[in-house]
């Protein structure tokens, strides 16, 4: 039976790499897929991974009906043996419903990939709807690591290397940009303490302030 599967995890856990691998495996067997994406780091209409792999995709607009798009594609003689939706956290809840309809009404597998929570540890609306509707939710097993070496479970937004907890939910950027808006994965402990790699390094370099009694 066709399924709606949600592959979830933090940043740096290989979501887009897995999406590209699924595309490669199925296309190598003669299947044809349709790829949707939103706000990819490589630019409009691209699905890319941090490993440097990239392929073309359909850039999803705010009000786009994904079910209708697939139906029009099929009615014009196109094929869609499966659908991949990357950066699914940026999709509207209604668009997730449309992907579920692709599975139920068109008998097409849909593989969605996305981050579950934002930099404030709040669910993205698209991810929340996927958790509610998906036939399966797969947490990716490639563990991203916090700067301390512990398993990273939270996404953090940084400005100048310092963690921030206010601002718009969606600000497209990338990791390793401490001079501007950037993103970093942290363990829960250091997310709660708002301690990023940069601030931890600064703390480690601070001079000893313990009082020293005169001899």
Strand-strand pairing, 82-85 and 109-115:
parallel
Q: 47-51, 139-143, 183-187: which range is least confident on average?
A: 139-143
> CB 120: neighbour CB atoms within 10 A?
16
pLDDT tens-digit map of 12-49: 777 888 889 999 999 999 999 999 999 777 778 888 88
Among 92, 104, 118, 110, smallest CA distance to 19 is for 110
**Mean pLDDT score across all residues of the chain:** 85
Q: How confident is the model at residue 173 (pLDDT cuts 50, 70, 90)?
A: low
pLDDT tens-digit map of 59-91: 999 999 999 999 999 999 999 999 999 999 999
Q: How far apart are CA 200 and CA 194, in angstroms?
A: 10
The per-residue b/e assignment along 136-174, b for 16 or more CB within 10 angstroms, e otherwise, is ebeebeeebebbeeeebbbbbbbeebebeeeeeeeeeee
Residues with catalytic annotation? 87
Tokens of 214: 């005169």
Does the pLDDT value for residue 208 go beyond 60?
A: no
Asked if residue 140 lies in contact with residue 8, where contact means CB atoms within 8 angstroms, the answer is yes
Q: What is the pLDDT of residue 210?
A: 42
pLDDT tens-digit map of 108-132: 999 999 998 888 888 999 999 999 9
Asked if residue 7 lies in contact with residue 20, where contact means CB atoms within 8 angstroms, the answer is no
Which pTM value belongs to this model?
A: 0.74
For the chain, give percent helix, strand, coil, nearest 5. Answer: 30, 25, 45
Tally the residues of the chain: 215
């Amino acid at each position: 039976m066709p399924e709606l599967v949600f592959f979830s995890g933090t940043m740096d856990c290989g979501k887009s790499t897995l999406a590209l691998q699924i595309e490669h495996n199925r296309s190598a067997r003669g299947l044809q897929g349709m790829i949707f994406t939103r706000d990819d780091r490589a630019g409009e209409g691209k699905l890319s991974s941090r490993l440097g792999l990239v392929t073309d995709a359909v850039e999803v607009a705010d009000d786009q009906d994904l079910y209708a798009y697939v139906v029009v594609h099929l009615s014009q003689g196109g094929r869609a043996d499966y659908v991949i939706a990357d950066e699914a956290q940026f999709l509207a809840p209604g668009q997730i419903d449309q992907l579920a309809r692709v599975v139920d009404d068109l008998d097409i597998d849909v593989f969605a990939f996305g981050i579950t929570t934002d930099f404030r540890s709040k669910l993205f609306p698209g991810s929340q709807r996927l958790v509610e509707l998906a036939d399966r939710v797969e947490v990716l097993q490639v563990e991203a690591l916090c700067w301390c070496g512990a398993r990273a479970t939270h996404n953090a937004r940084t400005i100048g290397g310092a963690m921030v907890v206010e601002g718009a939910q969606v600000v497209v950027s990338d990791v390793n940009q401490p001079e501007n808006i950037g993103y970093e994965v942290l363990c829960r402990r250091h997310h709660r303490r708002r301690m990023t790699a940069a601030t931890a390094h600064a703390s480690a370099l601070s001079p000893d302030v313990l009082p020293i009694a005169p001899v």
